[in-house]
Amino acid sequence: MKLQSTLVFAAVLLTCFLGRSTNADCGAISSEETPPIATQKSVVDQDQQPQATEQSAAGNEGLSESGKASECGVFDKLKAFPNAEGFGAETAGGRGGRVIVVDNLNDSGPGSLREAVESNGPRFVVFSVAGTIELETSLRISNPQITIAGHSAPGGGIALKNSSSNAGPSIVVKASDVIIRYLRVRPGLAAPSTSVDAISILGGKNIVIANNSFSWAVDENVNLWFDATDVTIQHNIISEGIWDGNHTQRGLHSKGLLSGQKNVRVSVHHNLFAHNDDRNPLLTGLGKNEVVNNIIYNYYQAGIIFSIGRGFKANLIGNVFLPGKQHRAHRYPIIVGGQLVDNAIYVKDNLSPRRSKGTEDDWLNVGFNGIIGDEEYNGSLLDQAVRSKTPFPMSTIPVISEPAATLVERLLPTVGATLPKRDAVDIRIVDDVRKGTGVMINDPAEVGGWPTLEPGTVADRDRDGMPDAWELQHGLNPNDPSDAMQDMNGDGYVNLEQYLECLRLQKTSP
């Protein structure tokens, strides 16, 4: 059986890697094209520490340290998943633990998502059901070592919404080693509150939030607070924070992403922020942060904001600011506030209406306003003392940046919960960005509300997260659930992760 598995693996590797595989080969949904495999050349500073690096036209991304190949490509090192980058990317999540199957859309009870996230020990959460889960209270992840793989779901995937009485965040993370991927989280209006977020990360370390769609929160769509450390927020759609909703303190409050004063080492990269008033994102506090290759569309008060204390260091590289119907052209797209002592910011290749050609001074985009909260968020050009001429070293798994000039068309097909397929909300949001349409909203009903997701089933007799047909094609046993956490090719990624990576590589969205 071992020889047979090796031969089958070698054949599938060739077809997957060359982009010629059928749906059955990789267990994938059909796609128009396979996303290009990025290549890069690492750039280090004088201390040989990694920082955000630029993409090159050629290279050998995928040559692992051991020279071993992964199922649907070759990868440089073992990470949270093969395209994870930034400060949180080294987490293993639930790798090596038990597989928990969510098989119903109930708020709680056996087989529910709540039961899965509240369980103890390393766990890998997969779905055999599709649709929307209405949450009576927040889903609380308090126990470490968990991976939630929304792309394992059939049909139209998994969405979360708050019940009318749930005035808290949809998801609360208070644990370390957490990976959440491919969920649609849209809480909506609820009882008057200051804390209705799509997701709140309230502490913990080694966290990756990737390829999710966060919309329709009353406070922030994404909130990081207290002492969250080594966090990556990548390839998400963060959109349509409720503007004039039920926020009890601030009135108009359409916000994208907030990172609080005690958070350290946060990477925000390759996300789409659309139709949020401001905080796209807002990063505060101390330590290192990076904001790389994000698209910010139709912001009103501000795009990216830094409210800084002593020791704040940040790289802003390759972000694109796109005006929408509610954009105010006189404002700086990047605003810095707070102290100017012992802080520094590096900027490069950020495009906006103020710097549209890409050849102008990089600092034309950056304004200083000593009081963050000023309605105008404007001020004057940032003081020279805070401007760094060189980028700061960041994560040991650096964010690979690409030119801002090509970012929009390259990023839009891959951002958000694209698997198993994009829903009507995300299709509309991406279409708004491409066409320059749409506005901020006060109520999800203004844009059609929550879509009905297509149901579906998965033929997975041993309930290990891998379809029976895929297991048979790869020499695995569809009656043996233990093979999900085995490693058929010795590259460090377990077989369930190999299957999920095949899905990602074989799917793009319009």
Euclidean distance between CA atoms 294 and 378, whole angstroms? 21
Residues in the chain: 510
Euclidean distance between CA atoms 132 and 284, whole angstroms? 34
pLDDT of residue 76: 63
445 Cβ neighbours under 8 A, 6+ residues apart: none
Closest C-alpha among 423, 428, 429 to residue 452: 423
Closest C-alpha among 305, 314, 307 to residue 334: 305
Residue with tokens 């031969």: 7
In the chain, which residues have pLDDT < 50? Answer: 1-49, 56-70, 374
Euclidean distance between CA atoms 94 and 409, whole angstroms? 33
Tokens standing for 276?
């949020």
pLDDT of residue 490: 86
74 Cβ neighbours under 8 A, 6+ residues apart: 17, 61, 62, 63, 64
Euclidean distance between CA atoms 437 and 430, whole angstroms? 10
CA 407 to chain centre: 16
- Please identify, in words, the CATH class of the domain defined by 163-447: mainly beta
Let me know: does 88 contact 63? Beta carbons within 8 Å.
Answer: no
Closest C-alpha among 411, 75, 61 to residue 269: 411
The span from the first CA to the last CA of the chain, in angstroms, equals: 41
3-state secondary structure of 306: strand
Phi, psi at 311, each rounded to 5°: 85, 15
Exposure string of 463-498, with b = 16+ CB inside 10 Å and e = fewer, is ebbbbbebbebbbbebeebebbbebbbebbbbbbbb
Q: Which helix (H) or strand (E) holds 380?
A: strand 380-381
pTM (predicted TM-score): 0.86
Residue 170: count other Cβ atoms within 10 Å of its Cβ. 26
pLDDT of residue 41: 30
Instruction: Write down the catalytic residue from 140, 186, 279, 422.
Output: 279
The partner residues of 126 in beta bridges, in order of sequence, read 101
Euclidean distance between CA atoms 499 and 492, whole angstroms? 14
Let me know: does 186 contact 166? Beta carbons within 8 Å.
Answer: no
Cα dihedral sign for 134, 173, 423, 319? positive
pLDDT of residue 370: 53
| Residue 194 Cα distances to 125, 190, 218, 257, 259, angstroms | 30, 11, 7, 15, 16
Tokens standing for 394?
């960041």
Catalytic status, residue 279: yes
What is the residue-averaged pLDDT of the chain? 84
Let me know: does 441 contact 242? Beta carbons within 8 Å.
Answer: yes
Cα dihedral sign for 40, 430, 416, 217? positive
pLDDT of residue 331: 83
Euclidean distance between CA atoms 389 and 384, whole angstroms? 10
Euclidean distance between CA atoms 8 and 178, whole angstroms? 32
pLDDT of residue 369: 75
pLDDT of residue 65: 35
Hey, which bits of 213-301 come out as E strands? 213-215, 220-225, 229-234, 237-239, 255-259, 264-269, 272-274, 282-292, 295-297
Closest C-alpha among 212, 208, 168 to residue 188: 168
Look at strands 184-185 and 205-210 and give their pairing: unpaired
Report domain extents, the chain: 163-447
Phi, psi at 152, each rounded to 5°: -75, -15
- 465 sits in the region (left: phi over 0; alpha: psi -120 to 50; else beta) called left
